[in-house]
A and B are shown apart, each in its own frame.
Chain A
Amino acid sequence: MEKLRYERPVINKIKAGVPDKFGMNTKIKIMPEIEGIPVKDIINKYGSPVFVLSEPKIRETYQEAHRAFSSRYPKVQFAWSYKTNYLDAICKIYHDEGSWAEVVSGFEYDKALANGVPGSKILFNGPDKNDEDLLKAIENSSFIHIDHFDELYSIIRLTKNTDKKAKVAIRINMDTGIYPQWDRFGFNYENGEAWNAINRIMLSENLDLVGLHTHIGTYIMSANAYAVAASKLAELAVRTNRKFNHNIKYIDMGGGFASKNTLKGAYLPGKDTCPSFDDYAEAITSALINSEIAPDNLPILFLETGRALIDEAGYVLGTILANKRLSNARRSTIVDIGVNMLFTSFWYEHEIYPAQECSLQTEDTAIYGPLCMNIDILREAIQFPLLQKGDHVVIPRVGAYNMTQWMQFITLRPNILLIDRDKNIQIIRKKETNEVFKQMERVPDHLK
């Protein structure tokens, strides 16, 4: 006799008068494959947990973003924000698509050079550039985005000993109507500090003011904030031109576009609330085109988009370790993906999907990572189907920041795979081994 399909028994209390959020259905979506490759096969071959990035998705998203801007504005240049994901293979995909590099440390700068990016296509941001970094950037004709007066004076001092002019921009912070206002980076617009910095640079023979830069924050859900920012930068460009008869060659709007992930505490899913590339592009390019900048002098528009370009292309696949009941009888499910590798679970309510057919019944569940630490929570409360130990799960939209901000804590970092355009799987970062850590440690003789 053929056996009937089994579903584990569940009982759910019916709560009267508590509708689902906006009547969203709780139909269970499953994610059995990534780019057509079964999750089960990937895990069997490369272990669990494992990160997977899709090259086709990276390229498609980049092209979509580029099109949104270049169809509205004549001169557009993206620079890949290294900190978002600086795996060499990933950076090279963006460079292959035409992206320059945006870096914020000597480490990232050298990585960009090693990835074949000429110095003259590197934007060097951030508050931490030492003399050695600055000299290298000056020699290589990179664009140095000055963060503070100490840096400005360092550059003035360093250029005295070289015959090269430093190509510089200043980073500008400002009120764009959003909260929080990031005022710790760069020079402030409203209090005149940015204008002072421009004046100081224009008086220096060895510094060439080529651009104006801002990065108003990250996961900015208001396209209008970018319109405000672009107008303020345009106004500074016009003032500079009027006073010094000097054209600003580029305006760099930084990064910050939201991805479709849902922020913790948000009432509606990020998919429904995040503006499109077209929305951001319309706001920025209209502000520039409608500014007082003469049409012949329109600056190049630089974008340092990180999160919104790569989040969607990354997945982490994992396995159920156990199901338990908390003291109040709520279900808790432990998976092998911890906050040590999924740093973004501190900001996002990550979606989590079963990778195989499962029961249609869901239960209010807390999903925890494997670490023996109270902070290791992926989802505090999610309507989740009943999975058994050994079943697989997929967390989509993890491409941004996790593979750079993750930490080696309690467990080793797993393999990172790239699915290329021919659907081949390539390891782009090997999983760590104890040996790697041993190599860096030293035990003093008296403890041997």
Chain B
Amino acid sequence: MKIKSNIAVSDNGFVFDPNTGDSYNLNNTAAEILQMLKSGKEETEIIKVFAKKYDVDETTFEQNFYDFLGMLNHYNLVEENRG
């Protein structure tokens, strides 16, 4: 999943979408994921990194992660064509 290239993400988790003028808040984990996605990391890789770094098992994280990606999609923050 690719984040639209003109979406701005600040370090403290503030997201601005110039296409719509909408802005969003992210919590720390969400900000980290967004940065990884922006830098082109694969989804499977992100899951591995998180399960290692955080106190969470892979299945739980995977569920939360795809729920989160669903929200990014809902807010139109991702490119239409995947990959």
Interface residues of A (CB under 8 A from B): 3-14, 323, 325, 329, 359-361, 388
Chain B, residues 54-79, CB within 8 Å of chain A (1/0): the string is 11100011001101101110110000
A10 to B65 alpha-carbon distance, docked (Å)? 9
Alpha-carbon distance A381/B68, docked complex (angstroms): 20
Q: Collect the chain B residues with CB atoms within 8 Å of residue A323's CB.
A: 67
Q: Which chain B positions have C-beta within 8 A of A12?
A: 24-25
Show 5 A/B contacts (Cβ-Cβ < 8 Å), sorted by A.
A4-B55, A9-B64, A11-B71, A13-B75, A360-B27
Q: Whose C-beta in chain A lies nearest to the C-beta of B74?
A: A329
Q: How far is the CB of B48 from chain A (nearest CB, A)?
A: 14
Excluding A9-B27, A9-B68, A325-B70, 16 further A-B contacts by CB distance (< 8 Å) are A3-B52, A5-B55, A6-B55, A6-B61, A7-B28, A9-B30, A9-B33, A10-B27, A11-B25, A11-B71, A11-B72, A11-B75, A12-B25, A14-B25, A325-B67, A361-B27
Contacts A4-B55, A329-B70, A329-B74; A10 near B60 (Cβ below 8 A): no
Residues of B contacting A: mostly: helix
Closest B residue by C-beta to A3:
B55
Q: Residue on A with the closest CB to B61?
A: A6
A11 and B22 within 8 A (CB): no
A293 CB to closest chain B CB (Å) equals 63
**What is the bound-complex CA distance between A76 and B28, given in angstroms?**
59
Partner among A4, A11, A13, A388 whose Cβ is within 8 Å of the Cβ of B30: A11
B14 → A minimal CB distance (Å)? 8
A-B pairs, top 4 by smallest CB distance, nearest first, are A9-B30, A6-B56, A329-B74, A6-B54
Q: Tell whether A8 pairs with B15 under 8 Å between CB atoms, given A3-B54, A329-B70.
A: no
Nearest CB to that of B64 among chain A residues? A8
Complexed CA–CA distance, A329 and B24 (Å): 15
